[in-house]
Amino acid sequence: MELDDVSWEDELQEKFSLMSAISEEAGEDNKRWEYTSGGSDIGMMNLSEEIFIFILRKLDPTSLLRVGSTCKTLFRVCSCNSLWKKHFQERLFAEVPFPPQRYWTQWLVVEATVPLPSVRLPSADIQELWGLEADVLEEKVKDKDEEDELMKFEWKELHDLAVEQHGGLARVYQHVLNKQHCHDHTELETLFHQYTQCRFQWLFSYWLFRQPPPFDRQLRSVFLQWRRHNKTKVATWGGTLCDVRYLASLHPITADYWRGRLAHGDETLGIQSVEGYFSMCRSLVAWILGRDWGRLKRRKVYEDTLDGVYLVLRRELQDKVVEHQRFWQVAKVQMTRVCTLEETAANYVNWRMIESLPYYKLYMVSGNSVYLNHVQGFLQRKRLVHDWIHLEENVWVQQLLPEPLNSLLEYHHKIPQDSLHGDSVSAQLSRVVWLYLNSGQQLYLEAVKGLVLQYAQAGLACYRCLNPGHSLEQAS
């Protein structure tokens, strides 16, 4: 398999070096990568030919020959024309010292034709490298160079002689491999180790940035669509200094891919799932923009649908490739459930309020109407609290309560989790309101009313002490 474009190599190497530095800072992530290379039995021979070629392009001709002599798979990959294109020049053949030239010549013996001038070697070397017997070469003595005692052969001629001598091309291969089985391949091992440490980031960045121009713009738009992001960090999209880790963190599927959690840690299959996901995102964006909705509703439908899709498919994504059609089938179901929740909430404020409820996600995953009933009950109880505090008889209570407590009892406010802790008046009331809204028990509603009236009466007593002779009605 050939890689025709050579220009991407330099740019990609810059990203590769940058990501190598990033990977050293992420100790926990490296541990996750290690399990994919050990626990899942993923080794060098599982790499695609594109990755092999990328690594092997870093080797000089001598090292490339030694790598190709290790096994039949590497022998075939090392025969790729794109690897030898820059080496197959006459000046290189002439300048390489004899020992490396010998390795190179031995490698080329398996080729019927190569774009090089005729080979000129001593008879003893030809016999050893090609495995030819002396009598086969006797008739070629007439072509010997008298000055340096070199014999001149065309490559195809030597190839045919070797095949005839050994009785087949496979035996010629075996002869070449036997000659090279003891050589060291430290360079390749070092490059492979570097790649295994960064393979997910490498393939992700290549997929993200090496799209054709129209698709690159479309992918960027979909990748950032309605996702809260740092504009400074994404401004370098596609550049050498781009923060690829940050981009991966914007979506749960790319974050999981970055950590090697898709398709049993197979980086190539994982990318296929990522491609299917963003293909579905493009379809989802087109569908949402075709609806007569406001900007806020569009954004929430998009975000909640994608969150629901990933809740449903996350375990499936860890085991196998999930195609675009499967994504879109789940997305349709999730959009239906999101729209049902929006109708239940009745308005955008309530919709934002209920998104943190456990019942919200449970309904998104299961579609069970029981969880939808829990959401409806929560909203009804919130309405009861709101209506009670706005009764005409409680106007004086509203006037005396501090703003944080009034805000808590309004219908447009959800209770933050951190406000439930502490001994402050606001924390105490928050806890009781939270218990009532989530349990529906009447005793908690009575407790809410009691606390509110208690705080209001304490505020009234304080007001009378500070303003003797004035009534609350006069002050208002």
DSSP calls for 197-228: HHHHHHHHHHHHH-S-HHHHHHHHHHHHTT--
Residue 108 confidence (pLDDT):
62
For residue range 191-235, list pLDDT tens digits in order. 677 767 777 888 888 899 888 888 889 999 999 988 889 999 999
Enter the DSSP assignment of 70.
S
**How many residues are there in the chain?**
476
Q: What angle do CA 17, 18, 22 make, to 5 degrees?
A: 115
Q: Same domain for 237 and 315?
A: yes
CA 273 to chain centre: 10
Neighbours of 191 (CB within 10 A): 16
**Is 359 among the domain residues?**
no
Q: Same domain for 326 and 256?
A: yes
For residue range 351-399, list pLDDT tens digits in order. 988 998 889 999 999 999 999 999 999 999 988 988 888 888 888 888 8
The residues with which 120 forms a beta bridge, in sequence order, are 152
Q: Same domain for 27 and 103?
A: yes
Q: Same domain for 103 and 159?
A: yes
Structure-block tokens of residue 351:
């919709």
Q: Same domain for 282 and 406?
A: no
Residue 10 confidence (pLDDT):
52
For residue range 229-265, list pLDDT tens digits in order. 999 999 999 887 889 999 999 999 999 999 889 998 8
Q: Same domain for 169 and 292?
A: no
* Nearest alpha-carbon partner for 177 in 100, 92, 72: 72
Distance CA(114)–CA(322), nearest Å, equals 44
Q: Which domain holds residue 407?
A: 379-475
Q: Same domain for 36 and 179?
A: yes
**Is 351 among the domain residues?**
no
For 18-30, b/e burial (b = at least 16 CB within 10 A) is bbeeebeeeeebe
Q: How far is CA 295 from CA 214, 298, 300, 302, in A?
A: 26, 5, 9, 11
Distance CA(196)–CA(282), nearest Å, equals 32
**Is 412 among the domain residues?**
yes
326 touches 359 (CB < 8 A): no
Residue 363 confidence (pLDDT):
95
Q: How far is CA 389 from CA 377, 430, 445, in A?
A: 19, 15, 12
Q: Same domain for 132 and 169?
A: yes
Q: Is the pLDDT of residue 337 over 90?
A: yes
Distance CA(45)–CA(340), nearest Å, equals 50
Q: Same domain for 313 and 445?
A: no
**Is 356 among the domain residues?**
no
* Mean pLDDT, rounded, for 89-98: 42
Q: Same domain for 243 and 302?
A: yes
Does 247 or 22 have the greater pLDDT score? 247
**Is 255 among the domain residues?**
yes
The residues with which 145 forms a beta bridge, in sequence order, are 150
pLDDT bin (cut points 50, 70, 90) of residue 148 is low
Q: What SS3 class is residue 13?
A: helix
188 burial class (0-12, 13-18, 19+ CB within 10 angstroms)? Answer: buried
**Is 135 among the domain residues?**
yes
**Is 430 among the domain residues?**
yes
Domain count, the chain: 3
Q: Same domain for 221 and 126?
A: no
CA 200 to chain centre: 7
106 touches 62 (CB < 8 A): no
Q: Same domain for 146 and 215?
A: no
Q: Is the pLDDT of residue 124 over 60?
A: yes
Residue in this structure with the two tokens 């993200």, named with its chain if needed? 208
